[in-house]
Chain A
């Protein structure tokens, strides 16, 4: 299966600053990656679909200007949380699919905005 690596695993930032989270597919060229957000004791919620070389597709209710996604290569997608606020504190997870039925997830990034 695909190996998906996220960085950083934890980040604390001040309110109003921006934070970039990287998602790398280490052994698979991924034309599509997915970004999820997970609040404590809640389900993973899809935020957006990252498409290599084109604009991301955002789910309803997700602000595209706040959550900037860049998928510049087949192995890297980045999620930038701009002007972060405490309510953006959450667990962010990316995933990659390999064309079959399997989805592989990164280890997640715990964002805390203070």
Chain B
């Protein structure tokens, strides 16, 4: 069964600190892996998209890594800000599927405190 597991479920950090969120998946083969940020009561917004051949991709203070051999991805947030408080969702698109085959993780809820 294709699954996407994220850890930790929730995380609290102080403003200015760095943090790393983890995503393990069993989807294989896959087309791409995405990280989204979802503010409370809002729809997800894309942060990064990586194909299976990419190892890292950055978007400002967000850096995603991908290890296709171990089927793991991480999202690193540097110099956190209060506005980073949100859920971060890892999404995998299977190789054979269309967009309706996106597989979502449950997300990591990040709280950044002053």
Cβ-defined contact, B43 with A106, below 8 A: yes
* Residue from B9, B31, B44 within 8 A of A105 (CB atoms): B44
Does B42 reach chain A (CB closer than 8 Å)? yes
Query: Contacts A105-B44, A108-B42 known; A41 to B106 CB distance under 8 Å?
Result: yes
Docked CA distance A82–B72 (Å)? 41
Q: B100 — which chain A residues lie within 8 A by C-beta?
A: 34, 46, 49, 57
Query: Contacts A97-B99, A103-B102 known; A108 to B43 CB distance under 8 Å?
Result: yes
Does B107 reach chain A (CB closer than 8 Å)? yes
A34 CB to nearest B CB, Å: 6
Contact with A along B38-63 (1 / 0, CB 8 A): 00011111100101000000000000
Docked CA distance A45–B101 (Å)? 10
- Closest residue of chain B to A105, judged by CB? B43
Could you say which interface size class chain A belongs to? 20 to 34
Docked CA distance A110–B93 (Å)? 26
* 24 A-B residue pairings within 8 Å (CB atoms): A1-B46, A32-B99, A41-B106, A42-B106, A43-B4, A43-B105, A43-B107, A44-B89, A44-B104, A49-B100, A91-B41, A93-B43, A93-B44, A95-B43, A97-B99, A101-B31, A101-B49, A103-B34, A103-B99, A103-B102, A105-B44, A105-B45, A107-B42, A108-B41
Chain B contacts to A: CB under 8 angstroms: 4, 9, 31-32, 34, 36, 41-46, 49, 51, 89, 93, 99-100, 102, 104-107, 109
Chain A contacts to B: CB under 8 angstroms: 1, 4, 6, 9, 32, 34, 41-46, 49, 57, 91, 93, 95, 97, 101-108, 110
